[in-house]
Structure 1
């Protein structure tokens, strides 16, 4: 989940950068959708990374509780 999150953040960042670059050209309508998808990918990637971190912490806490 963490690796997919990182990949989505990278793809999202590329989409945002190309979207901002596209605003200066004649393709501004396509650039806005590219920026939207980029922001969506960044948010989804951050959520997946956060969820993977929480899941790891929960597992460590459960293992600690079971060993006591």
Structure 2
């Protein structure tokens, strides 16, 4: 992955929506409620996963802030 993972969240949600629509168009029997549930889970999970990935790559800056106060 690149350093721009958070920017991909909306792309992941859009891709999931397109995939569900495609599967339904090709005969997968999903009700509107099921489709909305799948998209709802993706809409919640994508930002959470992106936040976890981003958080794991963040370096604390408390030492830098302490130097500025001196």
Q: Which has the higher helix share?
A: 1
Higher relative contact order (CA 8 A, sep 6+): 2
TM-score in terms of structure 2 length: 0.45
Larger radius of gyration: 2
TM-score in terms of structure 1 length: 0.46
